[in-house]
Amino acid sequence: MISLFKTKQPTEEQVLLGKQNPNRVRDHLANERTYLSWMRMAIALLGVGVIVVRLRILKPPMMPSVGNGWKLGLAFAVIGMLTVWLSTYHYFAVRNDIDTDTFDPPDRWVVLFSLAITLIGAGVIFYVFAAPLEQLNYIIPE
């Protein structure tokens, strides 16, 4: 773990590789920007999870039960934590691939997160339209 925070001295092979690939620094900076954008998305997902649970968005006010909004909030929080861990893993894997000049962009992370967000979005739509309207009539004037 300490090796992650030490400044590494480049080996002769890395110096030669850096001279062969002048875009290497730009690639590392782009990798870091991508990592930071994944972290922003993770923070947003965690925040939405907290908002759904704390503000009871998906529970009509006149319903006597606790509601199911906490399940959706938990799903947002879990996806947010997975985003943190997987983006960190992906950052270091891409960093290693850039250093060895063997980078090949994988599609599985894009598909995985697109599927996860699509499922959560479908859950939000289901909960919004599944709320019984007869109990909401007490609040909404006609």
Which DSSP letter does residue 11 get? P
Enumerate residues 6+ apart whose C-beta is below 8 A from 27.
98, 103
6 inside domain: no
Q: Is 114 helix (H, G, I), strand (E, B) or coil?
A: helix
Q: Is residue 90 part of a domain?
A: yes
Q: Which structural domain range is residue 36 located in?
A: 20-130
Residue at token pair 């599985």: 108
Percent of the chain at pLDDT > 70 equals 66
User: Is 5 contained in some domain?
Assistant: no
Q: Region 104-125: what's the mean pLDDT?
A: 81
Domain assignment of residue 135, yes or no: no
124 found inside a domain:
yes
Over residues 24-73, the pLDDT tens digits come to 888 888 989 999 998 998 899 888 888 877 766 555 555 556 666 778 78
Asked if the structure places residue 118 within a domain, the reply is yes
Q: For residue 33, tell me if it sits in a domain.
A: yes
The secondary element (H helix, E strand) that includes residue 51 is helix 24-55
Residue-wise pLDDT tens digits, 93-104 = 888 888 887 877
Which residue in the block uniquely carries the two structure tokens 């006597």?
64
* One-letter amino acid for residue 18 of the chain: G
For the chain, what is the domain count? 1
| Cβ neighbours, 10 Å, residue 109 | 15
Residue 108 lies in a domain: yes
Q: What is the DSSP letter of 22?
A: T
